[in-house]
Chains A and B, each alone.
Chain A
Amino acid sequence: MDNIVCFRTHHLNPPWSLQSYLKVGGYSAWKRILVDKVPRQTILASIKASALRGRGGAGFPTGVKWGFIKAELPGQKYVVCNSDEGEPGTFKDREILLMNPHQVIEGMCIAAYVMSATVGYNYIRGEFWEPYQRFEAALEEAKKEGLLGNNIFGSGFDFHLHTHLGAGAYICGEETALIESLEGKKGFPRYKPPFPATYGLYGKPTTVNNTETFACVPVILEKGAEWFLKLGVPGNGGTKIFSISGHVNKPGNYEAPLGISFQELLKKAGGVRQGHALKAVIPGGSSVPVLPAEVASTLNMDYESLAKAGSLLGAGSIIVMDETTCMVKVLARIAHFYTQESCGQCTPCREGAGWLWRIVHRITQGQGSLKDIELLEDVANKIMGRTICALGDAAAMPVLSFIQHFREEFVYYVQHGKSVVYSQRTSRSRKFLDYSGEVGGFISFG
Chain B
Amino acid sequence: MGFVISQSEQEEIDRWLLKYPPHQKQSAVLPALKIVQEKNGGWLATEHLDAVADYLSLPKIAVYEVASFYSLFDLKPVGKHKIYVCTNVSCMLAGSETIVGYLERRLGIKMGETTQDGCFTLKEAECLAACGGAPAMQIDNTYYENLTPEKIESILAGLNG
Identify the A interface with B (CB < 8 A): 76, 85-91, 93-94, 121, 125-130, 162, 164-170, 181-187, 202, 243-247, 251-253, 282, 286, 317, 319, 321, 325, 329-330, 333-334, 337, 340-341, 343, 436, 438-444
| A333 & B89 in contact (Cβ 8 Å cutoff) | yes
In whole angstroms, how far apart are the Cα atoms of A324 and B15 in the complex? 51
Cα separation A244 to B84 with both chains bound (whole Å): 22
Distance, CA A169 to CA B127, complexed state (A): 10
Closest CB in chain A relative to B126 CB, distance in Å: 6
Cα-based distance from A333 to B97 in the complex (angstroms): 12
Q: Which of A128, A162, A184, A444 has the most C-beta atoms of chain B within 10 angstroms of its own C-beta?
A: A184
Judge whether B66 is part of the interface by a CB distance below 8 angstroms.
Answer: yes
29 sample A-B contacts, Cβ–Cβ < 8 Å, listed by A number: A86-B129, A88-B126, A91-B130, A121-B19, A130-B141, A164-B27, A166-B30, A167-B34, A167-B71, A168-B71, A170-B126, A183-B26, A184-B26, A186-B66, A186-B69, A187-B70, A243-B132, A245-B94, A251-B90, A251-B133, A252-B132, A286-B127, A325-B93, A333-B87, A337-B127, A436-B148, A440-B148, A442-B95, A444-B97
A439 close to B146 (CB less than 8 A): yes
Contact between chains at B27 and A90 (CB < 8 Å) = no
Contact with A along B90-127 (1 / 0, CB 8 A): 10111111110000000000000000000000000111
Known: A126-B34, A340-B126, A440-B134. A88 touches B73 (CB 8 A): no
With contacts A182-B27, A246-B93 taken as known, whether A164 is within 8 angstroms of B134 at the C-beta atoms is no
Q: How far is the CB of B9 from chain A (nearest CB, A)?
A: 15
Q: Would you call A202 and B24 a contact (CB within 8 A)? A: yes
When chains A and B are docked, how far (Å) is the Cα of A128 from the Cα of B127?
12
Q: How far is the CB of B73 from chain A (nearest CB, A)?
A: 6
The 5 closest A-B pairs by CB, nearest first: A442-B95, A184-B26, A168-B71, A167-B70, A245-B131
B143 within 8 A of A: yes
Tell me whether B30 and A165 are in contact (CB under 8 A).
yes
B70 engages A88 (CB within 8 Å): no
Whether A442 pairs with B98 at a CB distance below 8 angstroms is yes
Interface of B is mostly: mixed
- B11-49 interface code vs A (CB 8 A; 1 in, 0 out): 000000001010011111111011000000000000000
User: Shortest CB–CB separation between residue B94 and chain A, in angstroms?
Assistant: 4
Q: Which residue of A lies closest to B66 (CB)?
A: A186
Instruction: With A181-B30, A333-B87 given, name 19 new contacts (CB 8 A).
Output: A76-B21, A87-B127, A88-B88, A94-B130, A127-B72, A129-B141, A165-B30, A168-B71, A184-B29, A184-B56, A187-B69, A202-B24, A245-B93, A251-B94, A251-B133, A319-B90, A330-B93, A436-B95, A444-B92
A406 to B30, CA, bound (A): 42
Task: Given A130-B142, A185-B26, answer yes or no on A91-B93 (Cβ-Cβ < 8 Å).
Answer: no
Nearest to A439 among chain B residues (CB) is B94
> Which B residues are CB-close (under 8 A) to A247?
93
Chain A residues near B28 (CB, 8 Å)?
184
How far, in whole Å, are A124 and B55 apart by their CA atoms in the complex?
Answer: 24
A181 surroundings in chain B (CB, below 8 A): 30
- Residues from chain A with a CB closer than 8 A to the CB of B129 are 85-86, 90-91, 93-94, 125, 127-128
Q: Is the CB of B30 within 8 A of A251?
A: no
Chain B residues bordering chain A, tally (CB within 8 A) = 53
Q: Report chain A residues within 8 Å CB of B134.
A: 245, 251, 439-440
List of B residues within 8 angstroms of A325 by Cβ: 93
Cβ 8 A contact of A89, one of B73, B96, B99, B127: B127
B71 near A169 (CB under 8 angstroms)? yes
How many Å from the CB of B45 to the closest CB on chain A? 17
Contact assessment for A169 and B89 in the assembled complex, using a CB-CB cutoff below 8 Å: no
B71: chain A residues within 8 A (beta carbon): 167-169
- Give Cα distance in the complex from A27 to B31, angstroms: 30
In the complex, which of the residues B26, B126, B132 contacts A341, with contact meaning CB atoms closer than 8 Å? B126
Q: Are B70 and A169 in contact (CB under 8 A)?
A: yes
CB contacts (< 8 Å) of A90 on chain B: these are: 127, 129, 131
Cα–Cα distance between A85 and B132 once the two chains are bound (Å): 14
Query: Complex formed: what's the CA distance from A126 to B38 in Å?
Result: 13
**A89 contact set on B, CB distance < 8 A:** 89-90, 127, 131
Q: For residue A184, which residue of chain B has the nearest CB?
A: B26
B10 at interface (Cβ–Cβ under 8 A)? no
Chain B CB within 10 A, most for which of A130, A246, A436: A246
A325–B142 CA distance with the chains assembled, in angstroms = 30
Given A169-B69, A184-B66, do A202 and B127 touch, yes or no (CB 8 Å)?
no
Residue of A128, A319, A333, A444 with most chain B CB atoms under a 10 A cut-off:
A444
Residue B85 at the chain A interface, CB threshold 8 Å: no
Contacts of B130 in A (CB 8 A): 91, 94
A333 to chain B: which residues have CB within 8 Å? 87-89, 92
Which residues from A are CB-within-8-Å of B96?
Answer: 440, 444
Whether B66 contacts A243 by the Cβ 8 Å rule is no
Q: In the complex, which of the residues B25, B97, B132, B147 has the most CB atoms of chain A within 10 Å of its own CB atom?
A: B132
Task: Provide the bound-state CA to CA distance between A440 and B25, in Å.
Answer: 45
Complex-state Cα separation, A104 to B134, whole angstroms: 26
Q: Which chain B residue has the least Cβ–Cβ distance from A128?
A: B129
Known A-B contacts A168-B71, A440-B147; the reply to A244 vs B132 at CB < 8 A is yes
